[in-house]
Amino acid sequence: MPLDRSSNRAARSMSPAQAERGRIRAREHKEHTAGLADGFVQANICILPKAWADEFLLYCQRNPKPCPLLSASDLGDPMLPELGSDIDIRTDVPAYCVFRDGVLVEEVDEITHLWRDDLVTFALGCSFSFESALLEAGIPLKHIDRGQSVSMYVTNVETARAGRFNGKLVVSMRPFNAANAIRAVQITSRFPRVHGAPVHLGDPSLIGIEDLGKPYLGIGTTDVADDELPVFWACGVTPHSAIQAARPPLCITHKPGHMLITDLLNTTLASF
Amino acid sequence: MPLDRSSNRAARSMSPAQAERGRIRAREHKEHTAGLADGFVQANICILPKAWADEFLLYCQRNPKPCPLLSASDLGDPMLPELGSDIDIRTDVPAYCVFRDGVLVEEVDEITHLWRDDLVTFALGCSFSFESALLEAGIPLKHIDRGQSVSMYVTNVETARAGRFNGKLVVSMRPFNAANAIRAVQITSRFPRVHGAPVHLGDPSLIGIEDLGKPYLGIGTTDVADDELPVFWACGVTPHSAIQAARPPLCITHKPGHMLITDLLNTTLASF
């Protein structure tokens, strides 16, 4: 049986990120991206009209922990060359949410038909990258061990307003024993472009969380053992929440968990 | 009135560390060294006979957090060239404790008469250096604001044995709110040669401390406010405690708080 050398060579020259993105673009993969293209940065996506994009850029600049901006596109350009040579944001995310006036109106698997010359794409860092660094350091993540979501909470901490965008900080929570909490601070401090160091640890009521057992959307691993502390990171749900409250006429985001897989390696985001 | 140009020039060419060490050597300063020669590393001192020094060196190697070794002298040599060009350990510490068979027998202000060809000097990093870095970062230290000692506690954590040296880890405790606790982890992680990152934070009972109100020796700032966490660092009292328990025939240490002022800048100890 003859070996198809040309396609074999093409597959070999493709990185895992490019291969997965190709499957997503071909609509062969429409599910969540957790665990795909291990080692590569995955990004949260927000797409806004120009009339709202400048204020959102300023909101990210003022709130770098919940909104760590990896890349903003040129006006009307669907490509994201900072994140990969051939990324077309219209087709390269497995599932999108379309919001009109702050209300989710549909979920779609590509947005070519919705693209306009006045749209700007924002790609934000996501905690998958720092979780990968924690796991590589041998620090267990309870929600991953259990195959659950991380739990998130709306705090009483106001983000810094920029124009029409503002709102409360949303955090994710991971329980650790003290030694691993200290190491988690050290490790995630190296990754300011994917939320960075925790924003809080210990008593949840100090940031307005009254009941750890009642997470945002009602999902996630919430139990903290007697020898553990809850450790809280700024969460990428914060900007989505701010956008929904601001009610722009159009906003397109990735569907939660269905991220853009970029060509950046997680390790290249480490600041030292 | 003629200016004495030569002595003026000598004073100007001397660093604050060299100037303070000169006063100490001349017995003009016999008190504690807190606040002297700001910015320069101060060191804990242990002097042991050769027959015990090799095991102590191994104890430091196995327990770098409580025993961060800055320099070990050559056998019988009272100079410490790694720490300063002219440091003579026989005269350059304001006050010394002399232990025989583990028992404090006298306090002296120089040890020239006790020096022997079989002695080895160990200089260990001290928390003054990382406290300086915390203060420079704008993080308040309650015990310093109050002019008190830091509180210390004997934990239930065993250090790694080396020959005749072993014992429980002793820790110092500083209370911080969560945001400052996170920053304190970041900042002190940069200083592994002066105890480095905390060893614990939160619930003291998890490391065998039953009552924060009862510190080692009964002194130090012990109160932790409702919005604070106790944060614990490995403490340089640990090796002193191990030495006293091992009962070498002779051991000479600095008197607590009466440190060796070195020519190293605190900033040069930062690992990144």
Give Cα B183 distance to the centre of its chain. 22
Give the gap in angstroms from C-alpha A227 to the nearest C-alpha of chain B: 7
pLDDT digits (tens, 9 = 90+) for A134-183: 999 999 999 999 988 899 999 999 999 999 999 999 999 999 999 999 99
Q: Do B182 and A198 touch (CB under 8 A)?
A: yes
Q: Do B229 and A201 touch (CB under 8 A)?
A: yes
pLDDT digits (tens, 9 = 90+) for A62-90: 999 999 999 999 999 999 999 998 999 99
Query: What chain B residue is nearest to A206 in terms of C-alpha separation?
Result: B227
What share of chain A has pLDDT > 90, as a percent?
A: 88
What share of chain A has pLDDT > 70, as a percent?
A: 96
Give every CB contact of residue B148 below 8 A, 6+ residues apart in sequence. Answer: B219, B220, B221
pLDDT at position B11 = 53
pLDDT at position A35 = 86
Task: Average the pLDDT over A235-253 and give the result.
Answer: 95
Using 50, 70 and 90 to split pLDDT, how confident is the model at A5?
very low
The residue count of chain B comes to: 272
**Which residues from chain B sit within 8 angstroms of residue A181, using beta carbons?**
201-202
- Which SS3 state, helix, strand or coil, does residue B73 take? coil
Task: Average the pLDDT over A201-226 and give the result.
Answer: 95
**Euclidean distance between CA atoms B210 and B206, whole angstroms:** 9
**Is A186 exposed, middle or buried, given 0-12, 13-18 or 19+ CB atoms closer than 10 A?**
middle
B198 in contact with chain A, both atoms CB, cutoff 8 A: yes
Q: Which two tokens stand for residue B167?
A: 């014992």
List, as ranges, residues 24-53 from B with C-beta within 8 Å of A. none
B187 in contact with chain A, both atoms CB, cutoff 8 A: no
CB-CB contact of B136 with B190 (8 Å): no
Backbone Cα Rg of chain B: 19
HSE at residue A217, side-chain half, CA atoms within 13 A, is 13
- Which residue segments constitute the domains of chain A, with CATH numbers given? 10-126+247-269 (3.40.1640.10), 128-239 (3.30.2040.10)
Using 50, 70 and 90 to split pLDDT, how confident is the model at A12?
low
**Euclidean distance between CA atoms A157 and A208, whole angstroms:** 8
pLDDT at position B13 = 79
Q: Do B178 and A197 touch (CB under 8 A)?
A: no
B208 in contact with chain A, both atoms CB, cutoff 8 A: no
pLDDT at position B134 = 96
pLDDT block averages, 10 residues each, chain B of length 272: 46 85 96 91 97 95 95 96 96 97 96 98 94 95 92 97 96 97 96 95 98 92 96 95 95 94 93 80
pLDDT at position A272 = 78
pLDDT at position A6 = 46
Q: Residue A51: what are its φ and ψ, rounded to 5°?
A: -60, -15
Average pLDDT over all residues of chain A: 93
The pLDDT of residue A11 is above 80: no
Task: Average the pLDDT over A101-122 and give the result.
Answer: 97
Task: Average the pLDDT over A4-20 and give the result.
Answer: 70
Q: Do A202 and B178 touch (CB under 8 A)?
A: yes
pLDDT digits (tens, 9 = 90+) for A22-46: 999 999 999 999 889 999 999 999 9
Task: Write down the ipTM of this complex.
Answer: 0.82
A156 in contact with chain B, both atoms CB, cutoff 8 A: no
pLDDT at position B1 = 41
